[in-house]
Chain A
C-alpha cells in the first residue's frame, strides 16, 4: 500500500511539474502586463517536442543522445526522496537528503558533459558557468539543509519533516536563516532570474540554455521537463521543510487529498513570490553570482551557528 502511494506520489510530482511552470509563467505575464498563455502550455510544448524528430549533430557521441534520459531519470529519482503529500513513505525512508543532492549533482554532471560533447563554443561556455555556479551553490544548500537535520537529528527528510510537524509552532531563529539561504540557492540552482534567465536565448548571458542549445525533439522535451521538475522539487523542499502543516501523516484518502490540496496551495503562493521577485529584480552580472551565493552560504552558516548556540540545550 505504502509503496503504491510512493509511486503515485512520484508520478504526481512528474505530472504536476509542467503545471507549476505554466502557473509561474501565467503570474509573470499578469505582472508584466502581457497576455498570458494557457496554464497547460508547458504540456503542449512537451507534447509538440516529443512528436518532432530529434536532430543530432554529426560528430555527437553516444553520450549526447543518452544524457537526456540520464538527466530525467536522476531528477525523477531525486523526486522520490522528497515527501510531497505524505511523510513516512518507503522511498523517502530508503534515501536521505544527501542522496537527493547527489542525484542533482549526477544530473548536472551529465548535462555539463553533454554541453561539452558537441564541441560548440556556447556549450562549453554554458557548462563551465554551470559548474562554477553549482560548486558555490551546493555547499550553501547543504548548510541550509544541515540546519534542519541538526534540529531533527536525522538526515532523512521525511523523519525530519514529521519532527518539525510534531513540535508544533516553535519560532526558530535558525530556520529563518536557513529558509532565506535555501530560497537563494533554489533560485540559483533552478536558473531563475537574478542568476540566469530561463526564457531568453541571449547569447552572452545564458547558462542553462547554452548547454542545451543543440538539443531538439524528445531530447529537449526530457531536459525541459527535468528542469521543470527540479524547480518544483526546490519549491516542495522550501514549502514542506519550513511550513509542513497539512502534509498527510496517515494514508487515508481524506488526509492524502488534503495534503495534495495544501501542497498545491503552498506551491502556488511560492510561485507568486518567485514571479514578483523575477519581475522586480534585474539579472545579475555573471561575476556577481559568487557574491550572491557567498551571501547564501553566510546565511546558512548563521543558521547553523544560531542553532548550535541559541537553541540547543547545554
Chain B
C-alpha cells in the first residue's frame, strides 16, 4: 500500500491529516494569543476542506452542511469571539514566556510517536490506510492537552480545548465517512455553548483575580491555606 498507488482522495486526506498535525504543533509553540487564535482558525479551515473533500468523494450531501457549520463556527465565530475578548481585555500585547519551549516541542513530537504506537495494532489489523489519519487525530487531541498544560493564559486553554474537539471531529469524519446529521448538529451546538460559557468564565476570572493568568489561581489557593 504505497502512497503512490492510493487514489487521489486518500492522498488528499492524508496530506490534510499531516497539515492538521502541523497546525497543532504551531499552536503549541505560539506565545502570542492573537497568532494562536489565527492558527486555530487555520486548523478550522483545514477541517472544513477535509469535510468538503469527504462529502465530494462519497457523494454525501449532508456532509456539506457539516462543512459549512465548521466554517461558520470554527473559522469565523469562535476565533472572532476569542479575538474580540483578547482585544477587550488588552492582553494581545503580552508575550507569554513559555517555560521550556524546546522541551514542550520535543514532548509534542514524542506524543505523536506515542499515539502512533498506541494505534499501531489497529492500523495493522485494518486494511484501510484511513486509520493512519486516526493516529494523527489522536495526537492532535494529546497535543491540545499539552497546550492546555503548558500555557498559562486562560484564552490559550480554551484554544487547546477547542483543538481537542477539532481532533475528535477529524477522526469522526475520516473514520466513519460522516456521522449522522443529528450527532453533528449536537456537536456543533455543544461547541457553541462551550465557547459562550468560556466567554462568561473569562470575565468572572478576570473580575476575581484581575488577570487571565491561570498561575495566579494557584497563588490565591496558597494564601487561603
Interface residues of A, Cβ cutoff 8 Å to B? 167, 170-174, 176-177, 180, 290-291, 294-295, 298-299, 301-302, 305-306, 309-314
Contacts and interface: CB of A to CB of B under 8 A. Distances in A.
B2 A312 contact: yes
B36 to A, nearest CB: 15
Given A167-B4, A302-B25, A314-B124, A294 B14 contact: no
B209 interface: no
Max chain A C-beta neighbours (<10 A), residue from B3, B21, B113: B3
Secondary structure call for the A interface: helix
A310 B2 contact: no
B15 A302 contact: no
A305 B3 contact: no
B12 A295 contact: no
B101 A291 contact: yes
A294 to B, nearest CB: 6
A310 B124 contact: no
A298 B106 CA distance: 8
Contacts of A302: 18, 21-22, 25, 109, 112
Max chain B C-beta neighbours (<10 A), residue from A180, A302, A310: A310
B19 A176 contact: yes
A244 B116 CA distance: 31
Given A172-B3, A309-B116, A309-B132, A294 B102 contact: yes
Contacts of B124: 314
B24 to A, nearest CB: 10
Contacts of B29: 291, 295
Given A170-B3, A310-B14, A313-B1, A295 B105 contact: yes
A298 B25 contact: yes
A311 B2 contact: yes
16 contacts: A167-B4, A171-B12, A176-B19, A176-B22, A291-B102, A294-B102, A298-B105, A301-B109, A305-B113, A306-B18, A309-B135, A310-B17, A310-B129, A313-B1, A314-B1, A314-B124
